[in-house]
Structure 1
Amino acid sequence: MLPARGRNGRKSRILALPVSRGRAVCRRVIGMHTAWDTVGDGEFFCPACGGDRNYQRLTGRRRFVLLGLPVVPRGTAGPVIQCAACQDFFDPDVLDHPTTTRLSAMLRDAVHTVVLAVLSTGGTTSRTTLDTAVATLRGAGYDDCTEERLVALVDALATDAGRVTEPDCGPGLAIELHEALGPLAPHLAPAGREALLLQGARIALADGPYTPAERDVLTTAGCALTIDTDEVARLLVAARTPS
């Protein structure tokens, strides 16, 4: 408060609002308001909550506000994603990250594809290889997997894709590996991508050293997982060393 002289010569006081309070008053008098409309919803992985949550997709209309009344349109806002739990706002690209449920399903499919790819090189003729493959799939969540079902599936896929006479990882198999592993790779840590490749490597090694076809399949899988070629070669060597 600042002292001042009144007309009668006595001191009077002029009230000075604090800066923060003055700004708050100013915002109530003049400012910008956004009216949000819901244009979609769904489930996503919320970075703030750290888990799967429901969301709303919002678009907004901005208006210049005077004395609390919207008077002049100022364009659009958004779209944005709002978490139904924590109410935080995110850019739409947050939806590119799969939910934990979807990520688990993608990982299961990836393991299944790698196992079938390795077996398609001739692994179904070895009991040891089949035992390792069945154990790998059961560990990934395929509890009802059996050797008989696995052999039948590999035979059916080989017949449909014409892989019976392919000496290595043919174009059809390479495409399947990239389709199953490519979308998953960006969401896995390097250790996770390496572990997936090593699962295939251990199946290939169950009945002895890698065949050229097995090595070709595993190299293609490593490429689909965005693992450097030199690193793939190192991992294939490491898989031969007993832990």
Structure 2
Amino acid sequence: MIGSVQCTSCHGRFGVESLEQPTCVRLGGMLRDAQYTVALALLAAGGTAHRAAREAACAAVRDAGFEDCGEAQVLAALAALSGLGGELYDAHGMAGGLAVELHAVLEPLAPHLAQPGRERLLLQGAAIALADGRYRPQERDALDAVGRCLDLPQARVGQLLEAATRAPY
């Protein structure tokens, strides 16, 4: 095959266009980072005052593959990304560092996930938002931003978030 590369794992040969796709290791890392970032964004949106939300966010982070990451590490990462000493959100929506991180992490991943995978990421965020009660306006805004970054149709985002309010968590 002219212009081919060989995989070091399976030893198969593929066209050079395959280099444009992430490896399975890279894709796994992108997904792990996406779950982590969504958890931080939703925790920031709802605030850190409610234990149930903190626990849900920490559980999502651990489920993403950060098994040793506890509440102190999650809150420290949140403070570092927020770039703000007090409020994590301003009048215009998500704090700067979190908004940038959400776009930087989710948008490159979206083309590599089927719609059910993108929806699952959104619903993981919804579970964090709902852990301490109904959606707050800032949580809904953050979930809408997650949906946009994942290239989900706005109508589908609304359907999923509504269905999540009826799901047992």
> For this structure pair, what is the TM-score category when the shorter chain's length is used for normalisation?
0.7 to 0.9
**Over alpha carbons, which structure has the higher Rg?**
1
**Given the alignment of the two structures, is residue 113 of structure 1 paired with residue 70 of structure 2, yes or no?**
no
> Cα offset for 1:156?
2.8
**Given the alignment of the two structures, is residue 134 of structure 1 paired with residue 58 of structure 2, yes or no?**
yes
**Given the alignment of the two structures, is residue 95 of structure 1 paired with residue 19 of structure 2, yes or no?**
yes
**Given the alignment of the two structures, is residue 188 of structure 1 paired with residue 113 of structure 2, yes or no?**
yes
> Cα offset for 1:103?
0.9
> Cα offset for 1:189?
1.3
Matching residue of 2:75: 151
| Secondary structure at the counterpart of residue 239 of structure 1 | helix
Q: 1:199 aligns with which of 116, 124, 130?
A: 124
Matching residue of 1:81: 5
1:60-79 aligned within 5 A = 79=3
Matching residue of 2:164: 239
Q: Is the 8 A contact 2:89 2:95 kept in 1?
A: no
More helix by share: 2
Q: Is the 8 A contact 1:222 1:229 kept in 2?
A: yes
Q: Evaluate the alpha carbon distance shift between residue 171 and residue 150 of structure 1 in structure 2; reply closer, same or farther with a 3 A threshold.
A: closer
Q: Evaluate the alpha carbon distance shift between residue 82 and residue 159 of structure 1 in structure 2; reply closer, same or farther with a 3 A threshold.
A: closer
Show structure 1 runs of 5+ residues with no match.
1-57, 59-77
Percent of paired sites with the same residue: 46
Q: Evaluate the alpha carbon distance shift between residue 96 and residue 126 of structure 1 in structure 2; reply closer, same or farther with a 3 A threshold.
A: same
Cα RMSD (Å): 2.3
Number of aligned residue pairs: 166
Q: Distance in 2 between matches of 1:87 and 1:105?
A: 23
Q: Evaluate the alpha carbon distance shift between residue 124 and residue 87 of structure 1 in structure 2; reply closer, same or farther with a 3 A threshold.
A: closer
Matching residue of 2:139: 214
Structure ranking higher on relative contact order (CA contacts 8 Å, 6+ apart): 2
Matching residue of 1:164: 88
Show structure 2 runs of 5+ residues with no match.
none
Q: Is the 8 A contact 2:123 2:160 kept in 1?
A: yes
Query: Which string of whole-angstrom CA distances, capped at 9 and with x for unpartnered residues, describes residues 28-62 of structure 1?
Result: xxxxxxxxxxxxxxxxxxxxxxxxxxxxxx9xxxx
How does the TM-score come out when normalised to structure 2? 0.87
Query: Which string of whole-angstrom CA distances, capped at 9 and with x for unpartnered residues, describes residues 70-92 of structure 1?
Result: xxxxxxxx53334465553x332
Comparing 225-234 and 156-165, the one that deviates more: 156-165
Q: Is the 8 A contact 1:123 1:204 kept in 2?
A: no
More strand by share: 1
> Cα offset for 1:159?
3.1
Q: Is the 8 A contact 2:79 2:85 kept in 1?
A: no
Q: Distance in 1 between matches of 2:67 and 2:28?
A: 15
